[in-house]
Chains A and B, each alone.
Chain A
Amino acid sequence: MIDRIRKALGAGSADYIEIRVQEAGATSVQYTGKELESIGRRTRLGGSVRAMVKGGWGFASFNEVEELPRFVEAACAQARLVKRDPTGLAPVEPATDHVVAKPEVDPRQIPLEQKQALCERYNNTILAMPKIQTSSVVYRDSTVVEHLVTTDGAELVQETCFTGTMAMAVAKDGTNVQRAYDSVGDVRGYQIVEGRDEVCEKVAQRAIDLLSAEPPEAGPHTVVLDSKLCGVFVHEAFGHLSEADFIHENERLKKMMSIGRRFGPDALCICDDPSAPGEAGYYAYDAEGTRGTKTYLIRGGVLTSRLHSRETAAMMNEPPTGNARCLTYGFVPIVRMSNTYMEPRQYPFEQLLEGVDDGIYAIGAIGGQTDMEMFTFSAEEAYEIKNGKLGRKLRDVVLTGNVFQTLANIERIGNDFSMHGGLGGCGKGGQSPLRVSDGGPSVRIRNVVVGGR
């Protein structure tokens, strides 16, 4: 395949040409309520060509891989229609490599029967609990073999093998409907989806408990976020803002995001690391063939770097970080996060609660969104904190903040740490869900606005 792609490069002429061909196979099982909603395997084959002429880009995506040269020509012709400032691409070491996925237990070796039986067992566990109205249990594995050849000398074959599962429970009492879920998903292998019977039970119990929980009192609160919610907070409140495609052409934004600007307390460090082994956002090389490396975005509370593609790195005269990613061959690579987290510090959990007279402990994440300045993130469950102790259970806790204020309001950073992947992912520019993980320790932040009742 690589030879065929290399040959096709000659079909067009441009300052830069990049050809991607992906072969993919996936298995999925989904129970919803009592029914096995869908099960089976599917396959995909497709490719894309991206070409740059004097800073303008052409792009063609297709399924007819046998007609590659035609699409190379088309992408180059399209690139010539765009008149832009020639900025070039930051130089990278031309990568030639063959990366093979190494799942501990390979999901491709597990019979479909076994995956179905696993989901059925989890689903039955949830449905057996009282007040559970319906459930959803999803299993998915997908393997992608990506071939990448560029005119800058990259020749890569990268295989990725992702496995994950999700369990959701819906509890109902009259018109009161509450949901709870839990998901794991990364590139470690099939073993991560096994042995989750207890997790499923807990998910169902959480949905049931939420039926009698109360909404919080609206307004600003001191909040303690658990590791998972801290991850979503880091991703939404800061991660997206550090993606250089957002700032690279705007002088005011460049000033606002200048290296050295203080965002938080000395203890605050935020990183993005595609090379973190096994994590959901893991990759050896990004979509442009740049090696993925760990980048400190904030160190000692101060902005130290940002995430780049080769193009944004050239425009800002900074080193590329290997963060150009595309959802599938049908999309152009854009600057994305991978595995993003806050580093842990010294506080045990009790000391995060200590001294909080009236606050909220928020656990888990349903989701989050940002417009780069303001962001929201929703907790799966929460407890009030009264005089340093956990109190009654709360539901519908949605938090909002302003990145330029909230990071500075971090008071204490915990000593625990975990990363969270899962079947969901990150959305940007219509490319969703991209596999990422995020995480951190538990963390205490003052003056976060919470919606309520």
Chain B
Amino acid sequence: MIDVDALIDTVLTKAGAAADAAEVFYDSSESRPVEFENNKLKYVATKSGRGVGLRVIQDGHIGFSSTSDLNRIDELVKNALESAKFGQEAKFEFPSNCEPADVKSYDENVSAFTTREMTELGQGAIDQVLDKYPDVQCTAHVSTAISDERVANTNGLDVGHRSTTFSIDLTALAVNDDGLLWVGDGRAGSRLLTDAAPLSRKVVSDLDRAKVEATISTGTYPTIFTPDAMATLLISLSQGVNGKLVQKGASPLVGRLGEQIVDERVSALDDALIDYAASSAPHDTEGLASTRTPLIENGVLKNFLFDLQTAGILGTKPTGNGLRGYGSQPAPGHNNTVVSPGDTPFEEMLHDIKHGLLVDSVLGGGMSNTLAGELSVNVELGFLIQNGSLAGRVKNCMIFGNVYDLMKDGIAAIGDTPEMKSSLSVPPFCFKGISVAAQ
């Protein structure tokens, strides 16, 4: 076992003697994944990892290094100091204390969950799919993890927290003469999940509704994005509010705080304070207390997300969004993203469409010019809507458009029921017209 207190003390003492200020970040995790392949258990694993990152400020400049070899602390200090000779000017001081936010991110049931229980849960989920579809090939992962994070600096800060992660995913592959069909579902959070039936039900329901194939021709159609598909759409907005891209002037949202950038029905916030959510934590990795930061309120841009350095450069307040692993310096990142629900039930959304599309998962997300809002993806799992009901799977087509335009003038309705499977809570959205390119 590693004596973390002694390690932190050693690094800070050595680095503090050599540099004007120093900060040490330590993280470690122990995970126990089990993996099912072709409907059966294949791997039982344990993965442990830890390391230490050292950030120093010397003559006003930032230096950084990291290692997972704890016998090489002197080299770590030397490397960090060497890096400070070139590093960028520090526009912040290390915080001297932290009042961690009150949020639950540890569930002892996760650490107590046995390998046997994990394999039963995974096999149970697979068997429920095989009951209905004996010919499909299922893959599943169930994993528990315990992580420790600790940040301390020469200004006196020393905070840390322990969190658990529980995740499960289930994928089924159906093969027929026309090609392949992948359907899947997953959950991740801090709390133990002992009922995998919702995942199996989602997989079975997708297999049910994809049995029939339908065709769609190039054109513009009213389109519903499920919460899963909305994740791809939201990449552009996440990048737009990222403090690093704002500081560099690359975000198209620079200079638009207070401006209405999307439909007034849209509100979204960054929230690290949801008990047991996948990206909740009492403080960020620089030792700033976690908070809730409104990003968009009634369509109006409210805030960007910053770490210490980006906020310092822009002369604004950090938002507690400095995220990292031990191997890299902090950078602004998202905690949980919560998009407010609207008032339209899903059934009503569907009912209102005579001829349109339902998109559930896409291929190639994030690979277009997402910064500018450009969306151009293959419809991996999507369905034709005819007279208010699903009329078969469509494939070999693309959907495209600009996310900023779609979110501003293109929204027909926002669903009343958000889904939160991991760190994103979002309802389904219905757009008036999405462009489709087909053969």
Give residues in A with beta carbon < 8 Å to B.
Answer: 23, 29, 32-33, 35-46, 56-64, 74, 78-79, 81-84, 112-113, 116, 133-134, 170, 172, 175-179, 218-220, 249-250, 252-253, 256, 330, 332, 366-378, 395-396, 398, 400-402, 404-405, 447, 449-453
CB <8 Å contact, B45 and A44: no
Contact assessment for B88 and A37 in the assembled complex, using a CB-CB cutoff below 8 Å: yes
Chain A positions within 8 Å of B69 at CB level: 23, 43-45, 63
With contacts A40-B83, A373-B179, A451-B376 taken as known, whether A45 is within 8 angstroms of B399 at the C-beta atoms is no
B417 close to chain A: CB less than 8 A: no
Set A36, A170, A375, A378: member contacting B250, Cβ < 8 A:
A170
Could you list 14 further interchain pairs (A-B, Cβ under 8 angstroms) beyond the known A61-B49, A78-B115, A369-B365?
A: A58-B44, A60-B46, A81-B119, A133-B250, A178-B372, A368-B367, A369-B378, A377-B364, A377-B367, A378-B367, A400-B396, A451-B400, A451-B435, A452-B437
Q: By the criterion CB–CB under 8 Å, are A373 and B252 in contact?
A: no
Q: Is the CB of A398 within 8 A of B400?
A: yes
Are A179's CB and B371's CB within 8 A?
yes
In the bound assembly, the distance between CA atoms of A250 and B39 in angstroms comes to 11
Determine whether the beta carbon of A41 is less than 8 Å from that of B65.
yes
Cβ–Cβ contact A33 & B45, under 8 A: no
Quick check: A35 and B88 within 8 Å, CB to CB?
A: yes
Q: How many Å from the CB of B147 to the closest CB on chain A?
A: 14
Q: What 8 A-B pairs are tightest by C-beta distance, nearest first?
A: A376-B364, A40-B83, A451-B400, A398-B376, A218-B437, A451-B376, A59-B45, A45-B69
CB-nearest residue of chain A relative to B78? A41
Given the contacts A56-B42, A58-B43, A42 and B368 also touching, CB distance less than 8 Å: no
CA distance A35 to B368 in the complex (A): 26
What does the 1/0 interface line of B357-371 toward A look like (CB < 8 Å)? 000000111111101
Among residues of A, the one whose C-beta sits closest to the C-beta of B81 is: A40
Chain B residue with the shortest CB-CB distance to A365: B367
Q: A46-B68, A371-B363, A452-B437 are contacts. A57–B378 as well, Cβ < 8 Å?
A: no
Determine whether B182 belongs to the interface, using a CB cutoff of 8 Å to chain A: yes
B437 and A219 contact, CB distance less than 8 A = yes
Chain B positions within 8 Å of A177 at CB level: 250, 252, 369, 371-372
User: Which of B86, B435, B438 has the most C-beta atoms of chain A within 10 angstroms of its own C-beta?
Assistant: B86
**Distance in angstroms between the alpha carbons of A178 and B64 in the assembled complex:** 31
B397 CB–A CB distance under 8 Å = yes
Assess whether B49 is in contact with A63, with CB atoms less than 8 Å apart.
yes
- Residue of B whose beta carbon sits closest to that of A61: B47
- Out of B51, B64, B75, which one reaches A38, CB within 8 Å? B64
B50 contacts A63, C-beta separation under 8 Å: yes
A398 & B42 in contact (Cβ 8 Å cutoff):
no
Q: Please tell me if B130 contacts chain A, counting CB pairs below 8 Å.
A: no
- Given A33-B248, A46-B68, A451-B399, do A249 and B364 touch, yes or no (CB 8 Å)? no
Tell me the B209-247 residues at the A interface (CB within 8 Å): 218, 244, 247
Instruction: Report B-chain residues with C-beta under 8 Å of the C-beta of A395.
Output: 369
Known: A396-B374, A398-B377. A74 touches B46 (CB 8 A): yes
Give the shortest distance, in Å, between A83 (CB) and chain B (any CB): 7
Interface string of B266-281 (1 = CB under 8 A from A): 0000000000000000
Contact B368 A378 (CB under 8 A): yes
Q: Which of B44, B86, B435 contacts A82 (CB under 8 A)? A: B44
A332 touches B43 (CB 8 A): yes
Partner of B367, one of A84, A219, A398: A398
Among A43, A45, A176, A330, the most chain B Cβ lie within 10 Å of the Cβ of A43
Query: Closest Cβ of chain B: how far from A170's Cβ, in Å?
Result: 5
- Shortest A22–chain B CB gap in Å is 10
Residues of B within 8 A of A451 (CB): 376-377, 398-400, 435, 437
**Given B75, B365, B372, B377, which contacts A176 in the complex, CB threshold below 8 Å?**
B372
Neighbouring A residues of B399 by C-beta, 8 Å: 451
- Which residues from B are CB-within-8-Å of A40? 63-65, 79-80, 82-83
Residues of B within 8 A of A332 (CB): 43, 45
Residues of A within 8 A of B368 (CB): 366, 378, 396, 398
- Rounded to whole Å, the gap between the CB of B305 and the closest CB of chain A is 16
Number of A-B contacts (CB under 8 A): 248
Contacts of B51 in A (CB 8 A): 44, 63
Complex contact B87–A57 (CB within 8 A): no
Contact B248 A373, beta carbon cutoff 8 Å: no
Once bound together, how far apart are the Cα atoms of A401 and B395, in whole Å?
10
- List chain B residues, Cβ under 8 A from A398: 364, 367-368, 376-377, 398, 400
Q: Report how far A134 CA is from B245 CA in the complex, Å.
A: 9
In whole Å, how far is A24's beta carbon from the nearest beta carbon of chain B? 9
Chain A residues near B439: list those with CB within 8 A: 220, 447, 449
1/0 per residue, CB under 8 A from A, across B46-58: the answer is 1111110000000
Q: Is the CB of B250 within 8 A of A39?
A: no
Chain B nearest Cβ from A419, distance in angstroms: 21
The residue in chain B whose Cβ has the minimal distance to the Cβ of A136 is B248
> Are A449 and B398 in touch, CB under 8 angstroms?
yes
Chain A residue nearest in CB terms to B89:
A35
B248 to chain A, nearest CB (A): 4
**Are B364's CB and A369's CB within 8 A?**
yes
Neighbour of B49 across the interface among A23, A330, A366, CB < 8 A: A330
A374 and B396 within 8 A (CB)? yes
| A153 CA to B371 CA, complexed, in Å | 51
B49→A82 contact, CB < 8 A: no
B62 to chain A, nearest CB (A): 8
| Chain B residue at smallest Cβ distance from A85 | B40
Cβ–Cβ contact A218 & B63, under 8 A: no
Instruction: Give min CB distance, A418 to chain B, whole Å.
Output: 22
Contact with A along B371-401 (1 / 0, CB 8 A): 1101011101000000000000001111110
**A449 near B371 (CB under 8 angstroms)?**
no
A402 vs B179: C-alpha distance when bound (angstroms) = 9
Using Cβ atoms and an 8 Å threshold, which residues of chain A touch B378?
369, 374-376, 400
Residues of chain B with a CB closer than 8 A to A369's CB: 363-365, 367, 378
Cross-chain contact A449 with B376 (CB below 8 angstroms): no
Q: Indicate whether A32 sits within 8 Å of B244 (C-beta atoms), given known contacts A44-B69, A396-B376, A449-B398.
A: yes
Q: How far is the CA of A108 from the CA of B40 in the complex (A)?
A: 46
Residue of B nearest to A38 (CB): B329
- On whether A56 and B248 interact (CB within 8 A), knowing A36-B88, A116-B86, the answer reads no
Per the bound structure, the CA–CA distance linking A396 and B371 in Å amounts to 12
Which of A41, A79, A170, A366 is close to B82, meaning CB atoms less than 8 Å apart? A41
A44 proximity list for chain B (CB < 8 A):
51, 67-69
Complex CA distance for A83 and B247, rounded to whole angstroms: 54
Q: How far is the CB of A33 from chain B (nearest CB, A)?
A: 4
**B137 touches A (CB below 8 Å):** yes
**Any chain A CB within 8 A of the CB of B105?**
no
A205 to B119, CA, bound (A): 55
Is B173 at the interface (CB under 8 A from chain A)?
Answer: yes
Task: Indicate the member of A78, A113, A450 with the most B CB atoms within 10 Å.
Answer: A78
